[in-house]
Amino acid sequence: MEKIYQGKTKDVYRLGDHQILLQFKDDVTGENGVFDPGANTVGLTIAGAGRSGLKMTTYFFEVLNRLGIPTHFVSSDIDKVQMIVKEAQVLGKGLEVICRYRAVGSFLRRYAAYCEEGQPLDSFVEVTIKDDERGDPVISEDALAMLGILTTENYQVLKSLTQKICGVVKDELAKKGLELYDIKLEFGYDKADNTLLLIDEISGGNMRVYKDGTYIPPLELEKLFLS
Amino acid sequence: MEKIYQGKTKDVYRLGDHQILLQFKDDVTGENGVFDPGANTVGLTIAGAGRSGLKMTTYFFEVLNRLGIPTHFVSSDIDKVQMIVKEAQVLGKGLEVICRYRAVGSFLRRYAAYCEEGQPLDSFVEVTIKDDERGDPVISEDALAMLGILTTENYQVLKSLTQKICGVVKDELAKKGLELYDIKLEFGYDKADNTLLLIDEISGGNMRVYKDGTYIPPLELEKLFLS
């Protein structure tokens, strides 16, 4: 089994036949030992974080697959903390698509002149470039088109698919009295047939979830949500 | 004459009857004594910079007014280094609209993973918030709409007006063998009748212009262009 990439929170192996094995790790992103889903560095290691993320991810991908939303998910093995997925080609050199329901995090840091912390946002979508060196800059629909990363037509598909997926996640969380503030997704093209797929994971590490106004960290979120 | 604002490069006085007097100064934006049209701080004072900027601005506004493009320009007095303009309400708390023909400056700093320095861009438009404290963040069409700063319809009007104006400036410069790489504009609503107007100035301090691949600083630009 060929290891093709060592990520911040997962290691990636090629299985052949356009399939990939993701080995979830207990490392989570953050800075100075504090978890931050928007951070670019591994901030801390939390025992059980990998398994917890995989359980959440499996839950959401299974819901999305049942709804006919294309994802890379094939199967998962919770005991081995592994997920098998379809091989996909990332957009450009890797993009993150963020959907926001409340103004927190980098949105608030940028636009505090025009919004209050926690102000509702109507499933606002923005795209950032995965580029640690340059702090994952936001990139507009027009810039994505001009730089040949994504056509305007594909941007609109990506935006509407993002809002649909995040709406499902938000509704699932709401069933347990949990509120989704923001979430980041990744997409790729299926190497086998080139369709646009949701890739990566959907877990506490990729979203900010609150309960009665208090932020719920990833492991606690998984316990509250899947109990 | 009531002084209503002391800007980085101009002082602003109210004249009454929806008119404003702009007193151009010899301060230019930059950092550590080096001129940078994208900078937020006054970097240096250059004798004659105010008069030079006013001469360029007067030239361009007169060209634009002849073409029927709405601007705030009423008249200027080069000797007194003053310009009289229509009173306007800025968009939001002040936005800058950038039009780019080549990848330099902050665009290059953000997107260097996807472009080369000086790469041609097809009159690419982006909007930044005037917010020194937060480093003038870029803001998307969707975010402008969501935060109630500019409707999607008005964004499209602003974008197309920006491309039209900058095309005029680019063509004028090209007549003298000068190439416009990027330029930033400001817009406002006419206090008298609420029409969208080009405001502020159009001079070397708001654009990057090159001749045969070499950057031309503002005062030299004015001499080359208006000679």
Note the pLDDT tens digit of each residue in A97-128: 999 999 999 999 999 999 999 999 999 999 99
Q: Answer whether B112 touches A (CB < 8 Å).
A: yes
Q: Is A74 on the interface with B (CB under 8 A)?
A: no
Residue A150 in contact with partner chain B when CB distance is under 8 A:
no
Shortest CB distance from A142 goes to which of B115, B125, B134? B125
Name the burial class of residue B16, with classes exposed (0-12), middle (13-18) and buried (19+) by CB atoms within 10 angstroms of its CB.
exposed
- A-chain CB neighbours of B143 within 8 Å are 107, 111, 124, 126
Interface touch A142/B124, C-beta < 8 Å: yes
| B129 φψ region: left (φ > 0), alpha (ψ -120 to 50), beta (else) | beta
Alpha carbons within 13 A on the beta-carbon side of B217: 9
SS3 B25: coil
Q: How far is B151 from chain A (nearest CA, A)?
A: 15
Contact A122 B146 (CB under 8 A): yes
Q: What is the pLDDT along chain B (227 residues), one digit of tens a residue?
A: 899 999 888 999 999 899 999 999 998 777 777 777 667 777 788 889 999 999 999 999 999 999 999 999 999 999 999 999 999 999 999 999 999 999 999 999 999 999 999 999 999 999 999 998 999 999 999 999 999 999 999 999 999 999 999 999 999 999 999 999 999 999 999 999 999 999 999 999 899 999 999 999 999 999 999 98
**Cα A177–Cα A183–Cα A186 angle in degrees, nearest 5:** 140
A214 touches chain B (CB under 8 A): no
Rounded to a whole number of angstroms, the distance from the CA of B185 to the nearest CA of chain A is 18
Q: Could you tell me which CATH number the domain at B2-88 has?
A: 3.30.200.20
Q: Which residues of B touch A147 (CB under 8 A)?
A: 111, 114-115
Report pLDDT for A122: 96
Looking at beta carbons, which residues of chain A come within 8 Å of B109? 134
Token reading at A172? 């699932």
The answer to whether B146 faces chain A, any CB pair under 8 Å, is yes
State whether residue A120 sits within 8 Å of chain B by CB.
no
Task: Please tell me if residue A99 touches chain B, with a CB cutoff of 8 Å.
Answer: no
Distance from CA of A179 to the nearest CA of B (A): 20
Pairwise CB contact (< 8 Å): B114 & A137: no
Nearest Cα residue in chain B from A121: B146
Domain B89-221 sits in CATH at 3.30.470.20
Beta carbons of A68 and A195 less than 8 angstroms apart: no
Handedness of CA B174, B51, B127, A139 (dihedral sign): positive
List pLDDT tens digits, range A51-73. Answer: 999 999 999 999 999 999 999 99
pLDDT of residue A37: 67
> In the prediction, which pLDDT does A136 show?
93
Query: Which chain B residues are Cβ-neighbours of A92 within 8 angstroms?
Result: 114
Contact yes or no for A140 and B138 at CB 8 A? yes
Q: Domain segments of chain B: what residues?
A: 2-88, 89-221
- CA angle at A168 for the pair A165 and A169, rounded to the nearest 5°: 90
Averaged pLDDT score across all residues of chain A: 94
Selected for mutation to probe chain B from A98, A107, A110 (highest B CB count within 10 Å) is A110
Instruction: Give the pLDDT confidence score for residue B1 in this predicted structure.
Output: 83
Q: What is the pLDDT of residue A70?
A: 96
Contacts with B62 (C-beta within 8 Å, 6 or more apart), sequence order: B73
* Torsion angles phi and psi, residue A194, rounded to 5: 70, 10
Q: Is A131 on the interface with B (CB under 8 A)?
A: yes
Closest chain B residue to A127, measured at CA: B140
Query: How many angstroms separate the CA atoms of B180 and B186, rounded?
Result: 17
What's the pLDDT tens digit per position in A3-47?
Answer: 999 988 899 999 989 999 999 999 877 777 777 766 777 778 888
